[in-house]
Every structure is written in structure tokens, then in C-alpha cells.
Structure 1
Amino acid sequence: LEVVKMLLDKGATLDSTNEYAQTALHLATEYDKAQIVGLLLESGANLDLKTSWGMTALDIALKHNYQPVVKLL
């Protein structure tokens, strides 16, 4: 969590993607990191972006039944 805060403070781009069009929000959701998801949302992460598999962060949370993350999204 502290590393994510530091990166955001240093101006990291929230919605940068990897080769699978996954953002930090997608990855935090995939690994059930509710605190990081919350921080990214507070910082303005885009909820509507889709991975190369056509999934939003909410789709990922629902797929894995990560209820705390679903509630945040």
C-alpha cells in the first residue's frame, strides 16, 4: 500500500496498461487488494477500462466473488 501511495505521489499514471490492457486497478482487483483498489479509486482510476479479455475491474471482482472489492467498485 505504501509503495502505491508513493508512486501516486510521484505522479504515476493511474490508467497505464500492460500488454493485456490491464491497469493497476485491474491487477489490484485480480489479487483481492481492497485497500489498494480503494486508494486507486480515490485517486481517480477509470472504472470503465477493459482488459484485452473485455473485463472491467468489476467483472474481475465478480468472477472471483471478492465481495469487499465488489462493494468498492
Structure 2
Amino acid sequence: MQIAHWSEDYETGFPVIDQQHQQMFALVNQLQEAMLKSADPTLLKQLLNALLKDTIAHFTLEEDLMLEHGYPSFQPVY
């Protein structure tokens, strides 16, 4: 059962960003599936760690792109 459904409406025009979004959607769905199947906690931990790692890398890249392109509303979180 998928809870995150990718749509072309979400595309940004930056292929690497769109690919990362799609990967995060896939990880969320894998995590949901594993939880529904009462998967081994080790698998759940691996999926959560992968999602965390990908999320950090993704938002770091988005912030870098905003800085690079002079996005006017950008405010660093750090």
C-alpha cells in the first residue's frame, strides 16, 4: 500500500532534485510496507537511516542551488 504517490505535477525542472524526490517517495513507501508487515526492527532502522541520509543530502543540495541561483526568499536554517 503506497502512501506517497509521485506525480509529474511535483517536478521542479531540476532532474537531480526530481530524482531525489522520487527516491524519497519510494523510501517512504518501502518503510510503510515494512511497518505493515511488522518487519524486523533492523530493516526498519535501515530504511529510516536511508530516508534520513537522503533527506539531509536533498535539502543541502536545494539550499546550495538556492544560493547559487540567488533565490530571493532563501533564508538559511543554520
TM-score, normalised to structure 2, is: 0.27
Considering fraction of residues, name the structure with more helix.
2
Larger radius of gyration: 2
TM-score, normalised to structure 1, is: 0.28
